Amino acid sequence: MAGNSRQGRGNDRRRLGTPQPAWGDNVVSADFTRGRDRDAPGRTPPAPRKVEHPPEKPSSTRTQGQRGAAPESWAAGQIMRTATALADAGRLSRGRTYFRGGNILRLDHELGTVNALVSGTQLEPFDVQIRWRPLTRRQIDFVVDECGDHPDSLRNLLAGRRPQSSIASVLFSVEHYLDSSCSCPDHGVFCKHRVCVAYALAAEFTGDPAAFLAWRGIDIDRLLEGTGPDVPSSRPVTALPTDSPGDGDTTYTPAEFWGDPGTLPTWDAMEVEYGIELGDTVARDAAVRKFSWNNADQLRVTDTLTRCFEALTVLDDHTAAESGPPPVFEREPWLSGPDDSSSHHE
């Protein structure tokens, strides 16, 4: 039976034109060249399948995404520096994709705080909040006064550029970041939804630099009024002396110009004070302790410094008793020539 069955399969191969292998029926053969006839000449290729794209989702941040192509403002750069410092590369990339995809459903910002709704992988959008430290009243007054004294910094701020360093460090920096929160399950420090909100806020302030100033608590009207010619600055202004009227041809004798030599002012002799007792004694003692092993070393260093100041102040006791404390140098060092030398200090 088995032999007849095997022989029957061989007859079927011969009848169908399939070559019979020499090793029998234990190996299955396959022809992998049958699909190549699709590229044969004269064969009509199939028509390409039309892919139906879903309608593009409307987004309220489309204008923000378009404004993102403009040069980034200074305030936007500070916001993105904060996001870059807190998020890794993967979250930054996904957050940028979310922003460009219009996932911002709502964006509200006021006095250093931004609140937003961001659509994600879940049905409900995620609540995102990012906070920066608001300015104090004193800091606001400082910024307004500095802009009044330096109108170029005000022009830079209104154009989205960086003001001078004294204003920039007080107005907004990465160190002003306080905290952030998101209702998503990502427990990272700065998730992709927060990165998306940071991109949206940066785009908002790039398109409207005045909105950034209001967000930091700066009154725009007060800022503009402070630069007017009729508004005095909060700093005292010293009036420059004016030249007395004259014909310009008046000449004076040396005696008239310099005055009477007999009426020169006189001063009392200066009291000698040793420098070791002057200045910040707390800082001095701290420096001595840093380079001393124990209390005995500290006393030794202090005594050495005291004798150095005494040597620079007075020479000998008998000389000081006769004519007062003479200077250490025979001539002042800045008046001495290259060949001059002191009798006590070579």
Give 268-287 pLDDT, tens digit per residue: 777 666 566 667 778 888 88
Q: With a cut of 90, say whether residue 81 has pLDDT above it.
A: yes
Q: Report the pLDDT value the prediction gives residue 309, as an integer from 0 to 100.
A: 73
Mean pLDDT of the chain: 74
pLDDT at site 64: 44
Percent of all residues in the chain with a pLDDT value above 90, rounded to a whole number: 31
Q: Which of 15-24, 26-35, 44-53, 79-88 is predicted with the least confidence, judged by mean pLDDT?
A: 44-53
Q: How confident is the model at residue 211 (pLDDT cuts 50, 70, 90)?
A: very high
The string of pLDDT tens digits covering residues 217-257 is 998 888 887 665 444 444 444 454 555 555 556 777 777 77
Handedness of CA 206, 207, 213, 215 (dihedral sign): negative
| Over residues 314-341, mean pLDDT | 50
Which of 155-164, 181-190, 236-245 has the lowest average pLDDT? 236-245
At 115, is the secondary structure helix, strand, or coil?
strand
- Report the pLDDT averaged over residues 66-89: 83
pTM above 0.85, yes or no: no
How high is the pLDDT of residue 57? 41
Cα-Cα-Cα-Cα dihedral sign, residues 23, 28, 32, 37: positive
CA 99, 102, 108, 110 dihedral sign is positive
Task: Round to whole Å and give the CA distance between 219 and 76.
Answer: 20
Residue with tokens 């020169």: 264
